[in-house]
Amino acid sequence: MSHPQRYELLLIPDHSRTRSGAPGRPIRSAIVAATGETGASGYPRYAGEGMEADVDPATRTVEAVLIDGEELDYGMSVQVADAEGELPSAR
């Protein structure tokens, strides 16, 4: 199975959700590229610009992530941008 070679990841504070429930504005973004490795989650590993993440290519869900080598703080989430930095649609 072929996986995308890069993604844009968005770091979003959970408290910033809009009234409609859509994600708020990201406070950081990073372009990550495939490393060719599989992460501990079993999904392909991507890294770049201080972010390292395991991404499920079928659902574009971030399954594991490190920001500058640290685990994600409570109240924060990381999502894959839809295109050119756009936030994913509210689900």
State phi, psi for 14 to the nearest 5 degrees.
-60, -30
Residue 86 pLDDT: 56
pLDDT at res. 2: 78
pLDDT attached to residue 23: 74
Q: What is the pTM of this model?
A: 0.84
Contacting residues for 73 by C-beta, under 8 A, at least 6 apart = none
Kindly give the confidence (pLDDT) of every residue in the chain, 91 residues in length, as a single tens digit, with 9 standing for 90 and above. Answer: 578 999 999 999 987 777 777 777 899 999 999 999 999 999 999 999 999 999 999 999 999 999 999 999 998 999 999 755 555 554 3
pLDDT score at 89: 53
Per-residue tokens: 32: 């990550």
CA atoms within 13 A on the CB side of 85: 6
Cα(33)–Cα(5) distance, integer angstroms: 6
Work out the widest C-alpha separation in the chain, in whole angstroms.
Answer: 39
pLDDT at residue number 1: 59
For 14, the 3-state DSSP assignment is helix
